[in-house]
Structure 1
Amino acid sequence: MKTIDRIFIAVLVMIICISGIYAVKSFSKGREAINVVGEGQVEVKPDIISMNIRGATTGSETLSDQAREKEKTKLEQLLQPLNFSIKKTYTYFRDHGSCSSRAKDIEAPCRDIFITITSTGENIIKNGEEVLHLLEKQSLWSLTNADISVSNTREIVKEARKLALQDAKVQAEATANTLGVKLGRLLQTTEYGLREDEYGSDPDTYFYHQSFYNGESLKDATTLKITRKAYLTYDID
């Protein structure tokens, strides 16, 4: 047997051993267990969007605030036909340093302005794209990021979790059957989200986060793929 053949066989045996160790490992002294990973995914059309806008006005504290109010009113008028409304506004006056508007520094005195706009309904992505193009034509405002989700997010996450658990159980039963053992009681469950763009501390909710730097589009969020992974450990009878 050639040396390269021996190496190939050795590597193959190692892979098989590692796979076996993962599928069936010692859970505690004198007990073996089956570990499996299930995945569930639900595709939905988003109906909630929140977009964060940034701008800046110049002048003294009073003048910059008056300018802010004027620009905010103009922005509201532009957004209204697209079914967007201003949810909250935060401003910060600077008497030294600089503010930022459309990636440009504005020397103090000036006022940084942060506005969150929201919309709901089946046309949020289309209307959000219109807002994006609209802001590109503005000299003051720029879009920084957007959060997109569904109104029944908890129900969708629950369904994805259910599918993940079902998938994991099917895999556990198949593994037990292949090994010629009987699947015992469920010992442990662990769940994880899968997408890197999921944010928030509540595992029962989901939203897609997108940042904007230069020329990005919302079209990637036309359909949301909400995914959950379930790690299950079963006893072996």
Structure 2
Amino acid sequence: MGKTWLKPLAAVMVAGTLMVGGTAWVAPGSYVYAAEVQGIQQNTINVVGKGEIQVKPDVAYLSIGVSSTAETAASAQKATAAKINKVINLLKNTWKISADDIQTDQFYVQPNYTYSEKDGQKVKGYTAYHTLSVTYRELDKVGELLDDASQAGANSIDNIRFTVESPEKYEAQVIEKAVANADVKAAAIAKAVKRQLGSVLSVTQGDAVAPVLYATESSFSKSSADAEAGTAVETGLVKVNTTLSITYEMK
């Protein structure tokens, strides 16, 4: 939910005043706002300021999985379990990744079908899938980690998501940029209608956002000239942004 700051308007509250035919009538216990409030509200400028910065990602979310095919579902599941256990041991013991950063994302077994005009559709074996979601923070070693996981039996690496783990630490910077952007817009509007920009009456902030950068399989590169070359993964930059809806007084 967004955050809102309000500056009180110079409103006049009149106790139970109702104008009927030019005569004021006061209803016991009732309250209405005087018409001056509407007049002030009409002399405002509402703009949306956008603030954005680019930062280096500090965390990667990896999707690492294994699959096995066998004649029976039990055999496929057993083969996949052996492979995924080997991958998990590699991640925990060799790469020292905490168990808290390793989570099963998907696990399922499905039949494989063949079709012929004579026999129709028939089941021909089963494939068992087990995918892990891995949180990893040493981004310069991601390519090496993927190579080791592949050698350990991982045969499904769908994507990598690079992002910042705590986007709120950049919030002050993006707020400053959003306010500056809103000031420019509001000043331009006031000048265009030959008015002057007054003080800020209210501010509503949207949540700070850290869009993730996806690295798909095509983003992983391996030298074709050197079969021993490791996988290269480029982290790039991610954008952190926020928006501010600001209401200014117009003089």
TM-score by length of structure 1 reads 0.61
In structure 1, the partner of 2:174 is: 160
> CA separation of 1:72/1:209 partners in 2, compared to 1, >3 Å: closer, same or farther?
same
In structure 1, the partner of 2:216 is: 212
**Secondary structure of residue in 2 paired with 1:214:** helix
In structure 1, the partner of 2:107 is: 91
Q: Which has the higher strand share?
A: 2
Mark the structure with the bigger radius of gyration.
Answer: 2
1:40 maps onto 2:40 in alignment = no
In structure 1, the partner of 2:120 is: none
Q: Is the 8 A contact 2:59 2:165 kept in 1?
A: yes
Q: Paired residue for 1:129, among 113, 125, 143?
A: 143
How many residues were matched structurally?
A: 190
> CA separation of 1:108/1:158 partners in 2, compared to 1, >3 Å: closer, same or farther?
farther
Q: Is the 8 A contact 2:49 2:180 kept in 1?
A: yes
In structure 1, the partner of 2:163 is: 149
In structure 2, the partner of 1:16 is: none
Structure 2 CA distance, aligned partners of 1:28 and 1:67?
A: 75
Structure 1 CA distance, aligned partners of 2:249 and 2:177?
A: 21
The one-letter code sitting in structure 2 at the alignment partner of 1:232 is I
State the identity %.
Answer: 20
Q: Is the 8 A contact 2:208 2:242 kept in 1?
A: no
Structure 2 CA distance, aligned partners of 1:157 and 1:130?
A: 33
Q: Which has the higher helix share?
A: 1
Q: Is the 8 A contact 1:157 1:206 kept in 2?
A: no
Q: Paired residue for 1:115, among 128, 132, 137?
A: 132
1:69 maps onto 2:81 in alignment = yes
Q: Is the 8 A contact 1:147 1:207 kept in 2?
A: no
Structure 2 CA distance, aligned partners of 1:93 and 1:162?
A: 51
Question: Which residues of structure 2 form unaligned runs of 5+?
Answer: 1-37, 115-122, 221-231
Deviation at 1:70, TM superposition (A): 1.5
Structure 1 CA distance, aligned partners of 2:242 and 2:41?
A: 32
Q: Is the 8 A contact 2:69 2:128 kept in 1?
A: yes
In structure 2, the partner of 1:172 is: 186
Q: Is the 8 A contact 1:35 1:234 kept in 2?
A: yes
Structure 2 CA distance, aligned partners of 1:62 and 1:28?
A: 75
TM-score by length of structure 2 reads 0.58
**Secondary structure of residue in 2 paired with 1:181:** coil
The one-letter code sitting in structure 1 at the alignment partner of 2:239 is K
Structure 2 CA distance, aligned partners of 1:167 and 1:30?
A: 22
Kindly report the root-mean-square deviation, in angstroms, between the aligned alpha carbons of the 2 structures: 3.8
Deviation at 1:234, TM superposition (A): 2.4
Question: Which residues of structure 1 form unaligned runs of 5+?
Answer: 1-26, 99-105, 193-202
The one-letter code sitting in structure 1 at the alignment partner of 2:88 is E
Structure 2 CA distance, aligned partners of 1:143 and 1:236?
A: 56
